[in-house]
C-alpha cells in the first residue's frame, strides 16, 4: 500500500541515515519501526491485563513482584 505522509525534515533525515546504515530502503525502515511500536503496545496491554489479574488475588508484595516478573518474561518469550 502506498501512503503519503508529512514528516519533519530532521526526523526524515535521521531515518534516511539509519536506513542507509542498515542497508534498507527508507520505507522499509518506517514499516519496521511501526511494527515494533505496535508490538510494544500489545506487550504493554498484555502485561497490564496480567498485572490486573495478579492484583485481584490476595498476594504479598513479594508474590506480586514475582508474578509481574514471571508474566513479563512469559509474554516476552512469545512470538507475537
Q: What is the pLDDT of residue 50?
A: 74
**Which of the residue ranges 7-21, 43-57, 63-77 would you say has the lowest mean pLDDT?**
43-57
| Averaged confidence pLDDT in the chain | 84
What is the Cα–Cα distance from 39 to 18, expressed in whole angstroms?
21
pLDDT at 23 over 90: yes
CA count, 13 A, side-chain hemisphere, 67: 17
Amino acid at each position: 500500500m502506498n501512503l503519503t505522509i508529512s514528516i519533519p525534515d530532521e526526523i526524515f533525515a535521521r531515518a534516511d541515515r539509519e536506513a542507509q546504515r542498515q542497508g534498507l530502503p527508507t520505507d522499509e525502515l518506517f514499516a519496521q519501526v511501526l511494527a515494533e511500536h505496535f508490538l510494544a503496545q500489545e506487550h504493554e496491554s498484555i502485561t497490564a491485563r496480567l498485572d490486573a489479574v495478579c492484583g485481584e488475588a490476595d498476594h504479598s508484595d513479594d508474590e506480586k513482584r514475582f508474578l509481574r516478573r514471571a508474566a513479563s518474561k512469559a509474554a516476552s518469550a512469545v512470538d507475537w
